[in-house]
Amino acid sequence: MSTPASPPEPPLPGKRGFLKGLLGLGAAATVIPIRAEATGMNGQPPRRPGMAGKRYGMVVDMRKCIGCQSCTVSCSMENLPPIGQFRTTVLQYEVVPDAGGPASMVMLPRLCNHCDNPPCVPVCPVQATFQREDGIVLVDNERCVGCAYCVQACPYDARFINHETQTADKCTFCEHRLEAGLLPACVESCVGGARVIGDLNDPDSAISRLLVEHKEDIKVLKPEMKTDPHVYYIGLPDAFVHQVDGQAGVRLAGGH
């Protein structure tokens, strides 16, 4: 004996029923299947292919930086970010000694640190930010939705939302130039030779020799974040190691 079918549920009357139906349609339309990714090193997504066998890093010798901004200009000419936005720059800081006395000026080049444990990568909901096997961290602008999660996650203030593309932007170590056997624009244009880039896996590379020669003087920004940054500084004052903005005795020249 067949069981009679239940009568259809009457529609909810008025605005309440309309909104419920509309919300149901919206939820159904926005369900996006997300493919689970295998876990790589330090809980990071697996790295994508890069230049096999290499691990790129940069040494910035602050003793040679004169704050001329040639790196900033050449980077802008090479990569064409919007006017007023920069992938790398040299910030000028005024340092006031704790014991008093005259202030000193410090030129601090800033850029993406291409960390070994980059916090910007796992927070990306669409996996647009990724790291290659050679350590270079990049952004896939075809996938980026401009949510700015990676901008907030970066402890080095090295990312921004490009005003023109509305996607994440940052220093890429000019990977397109490296792949062609050229130096990044900022390295090539540095008049003082303050920036040195190279393969950290090659013990005979210029950067590897610098790291050995100046082992006691090498510092990185915010080591407590455990990101393992691969931009190293020679001559970096202690006041800049853990925090720059907001730290007593250190402020941006001009109040910026």
Question: Can you give the residue ranges of every domain in the chain?
Answer: 56-113+171-240
- Residues 196-207 as b/e (b if ≥16 CB within 10 A, e otherwise) read bbbbbeeeebeb
Burial of residue 102, with CB atoms counted within 10 A of its CB: 0-12 exposed, 13-18 middle, 19 or more buried: exposed
Dist. CA 133–CA 51, nearest whole Å: 7
Q: What is the pLDDT of residue 130?
A: 95
Q: What is the pLDDT of residue 104?
A: 82
Q: For residue 93, give the amino acid letter.
A: Y
Dist. CA 236–CA 217, nearest whole Å: 8
Which of 28, 93, 64, 60 is CA-nearest to residue 218?
60
Run of H or E residues at 208 = helix 206-213
Residues 131, 118: contact at Cβ < 8 Å? Answer: yes
Q: What is the pLDDT of residue 66?
A: 93
Residue owning tokens 């850029």: 111
Q: What is the pLDDT of residue 183?
A: 97
Helix (H, G, I), strand (E, B) or coil at 160: strand
Q: Digits of tens for pLDDT over the chain (256 positions)?
A: 555 555 555 544 454 444 445 444 444 443 433 343 445 545 667 778 789 999 999 999 999 999 999 999 999 999 999 999 999 999 888 877 777 778 888 899 999 999 999 999 999 999 999 999 999 999 999 999 999 999 999 999 999 999 999 999 999 999 999 999 999 999 999 999 999 999 999 999 999 999 999 999 999 999 999 999 999 999 998 888 986 553 333 344 454 4
Q: What is the pLDDT of residue 133?
A: 95
CATH of domain 56-113+171-240: 3.30.70.20
pTM to 2 decimals? 0.77
